[in-house]
Amino acid sequence: MEEVKLSPLRSTRFHAVTQMLSALVIFLAVNYLGFEFHGRVDFSRSQKFALAGQTKRVIRALNQPLHITVFFSRTALSPVSMLYPDVRNLMDEFVFSGRKNISVEYVDPVRDLTRARELQSQHKFRADENVLILEYAGRTAFLPVADMGDFDLSPMETGGHARILAFNGEAALTSTILGLVSPEPRKVYFLDGLGGPSVRGTDSAISTFRDYIARQNLTPVALNPGTLDSIPEDASSVMIIAPTVDPEERVIRMLLAYWQRGGRLMILLDPSAATPRLDALCAEMGLRPRNDRVLRTVRLGFATGILREVTCEFSPHSEITRRLVGLTLFLPGQTRSVAIEPRENLATQPLLQPLEEFWGETDFVTDETRGVRYDDGHDTGQPLYVAASASRGGSKDDRLQVGSAKLILVGSSQFILDAAISSQGLDFLVSCAHWLVDRGHLTGVTPKPKRYFALNLDDRQLSLLSMVSLLLLPGAALLLALLMGWRRRDR
């Protein structure tokens, strides 16, 4: 059998064609993979172009097309016009995340008079309004652009220009979409009359949490049990925040009856208050508050200090905290630990676990000069929990607990106050509220306002900045070019 040999010319042509085909295949494969499997990374300081995890889950939950009409003129004689680039970027992110489920139409009332008049006639709003019109499943909602930003208007009093302080368009738009998807808001009752912070009024000590759950299409309502015989039937959940007075036996019976008929409770304890009846109610539901204080000791030179502010990690085993794993939550003030007591037909899960150095001190003292130390067998050691959940039904899978009675117990409460609330604390509390009303898919990181910041430089700093940018940097580049030219000349 003779061996076939290609001439050098044919061999060169064969290799060239093979390389070209290989390059073409690689080019097509890379483009296909890039089109099908791609993502975005936001490197901006405030994550300005990144959607929160909750927003993405809201978008993925849309089962019908959502159409957004941006009725907005960038030339409007109003401070609102400064938000146009942010609104445009936000719409791009929503379209990217929603793929085929979200469409956006931009209407400039100054340039497109025909379309503008058509929309005004259809939806009955003024021509000078800048508004987002959302249409979903035959329902329509309006979001004024002015509600998507916080402004400082004080410079206008002296002839200056208004400044943008923060852009909260993502939170406002997500809240509007939630209202479209679930048009009937659910009521969350806050139990009054127990000495804790009230949800009423603009000066409420928990107004930040109250306002955030309102944006989640949950209606916060103050509930005074003194005039009631039972918890209202329309209560999606009941919250007891930092009670300093133990509820009366009649109120305990109301709460127990509510739980037995499938009610949902969230209780944030005040460790400095004695509430034996409320503790017994929680214990009957599978979560027992211990009579201890979570703390640790730290070395301070030649002395030992007591640290009562607790740093916690989120549990990866609960739907409430699963999407917050990797973050930590700081609990100021005193904290009690929570004992999880499994029962038949009762599913329990830990939510917050202090770092390994903490323990539950049963002989807690307020006089730091006496000191404390961990006593094995007497104090509460690890694993130690300061927040847990219980649901009546017995399933460990949170997705199968829809309609069951639920309880969330936290052995601390100061972290909910406006003066102490953190981003992680807010995400945890809002996730708890969603889990209680069977919206577990909305737990996790919630959208936050994008804060603007300004550099306030004095005259000396401005002069230094000008010298560096106009003289030093160009001079350094010129010197480097001269050195390179000199070295090449020598060669």
- Among candidate residues 442, 466, 486, the one where a domain is terminated: 442
Q: Are 130 and 215 in a shared domain?
A: no
Within-domain flag for 265: yes
pLDDT tens for 367-395 read 455 567 878 888 888 899 999 999 986 45
Q: Are residues 108 and 202 in the same domain?
A: no
Quick check: is 472 in a domain?
A: no
Domain end point (choices 148, 178, 208):
178
What is the tens place of the pLDDT at every residue in 406-428?
A: 999 999 999 999 999 998 999 99
* More confident site: 10 or 285: 285
Domain total of the chain: 2
Q: Cα(242)–Cα(280) distance, rounded to whole angstroms?
A: 16
Note whether residue 7 is domain-resident: no
Final residue belonging to a domain, choices 178, 202, 223: 178
Q: Where does the pLDDT of residue 36 fall: very low under 50, low under 70, confident under 90, or very high at 90 and above?
A: low
Q: Which residue has the higher pLDDT, 264 or 2?
A: 264
Task: Specify if 391 maps to a domain.
Answer: yes
Statement to judge: residues 236 and 96 lie in one domain: no
Whether 150 and 198 map to the same domain: the answer is: no
Separation of alpha carbons 247 and 241, rounded Å: 12
Q: What is the pTM for the complete model shown? A: 0.75
Looking at per-residue pLDDT, the higher value among 184 and 23 belongs to 23
Considering the domain architecture, whether residues 334 and 437 belong to the same structural domain is answered as yes
Q: Which amino acid is at 475?
A: G
Residues 302 and 355 in one domain: yes
Q: Is the dihedral of CA 119, 124, 128, 129 positive or negative?
A: negative
Tell me, yes or no, whether 144 and 57 share the same domain.
Answer: yes
- Decide: helix, strand or coil at residue 304: strand
Domain range for 194 is: 186-442
CATH number of the structural domain spanning residue 317: 3.40.50.880
Residue 412 maps to a domain: yes
On whether both 259 and 336 belong to a single domain, the answer is yes
Predicted confidence at residue 60, as pLDDT, reads 86
Poorest-confidence range of 26-30, 203-207, 238-242, 414-418? 26-30
Same-domain check for residues 346 and 232: yes
Instruction: Please say if the pLDDT value at position 138 is more than 90.
Output: no
Judgement on whether residues 409 and 290 belong to the same structural domain of the protein: yes
Determine the Cα–Cα distance for residues 284 and 273; give it in Å rounded to an integer. 20
Helix (H, G, I), strand (E, B) or coil at 327: strand
19, part of any domain = no
Residue 30 lies in a domain: no
Shared domain for 225 and 341, answered yes or no, is: yes
206 & 72 share domain:
no
Residue 452 located in a structural domain? no
Q: What's the CATH number where 167 sits?
A: 3.40.30.10
In three-state form (DSSP H/G/I as H, E/B as E, the rest C), the secondary structure along 5-43 is CCCHHHHHHHHHHHHHHHHHHHHHHHHHHHHHCCCCCCC
Q: What is the mean pLDDT of the chain?
A: 83
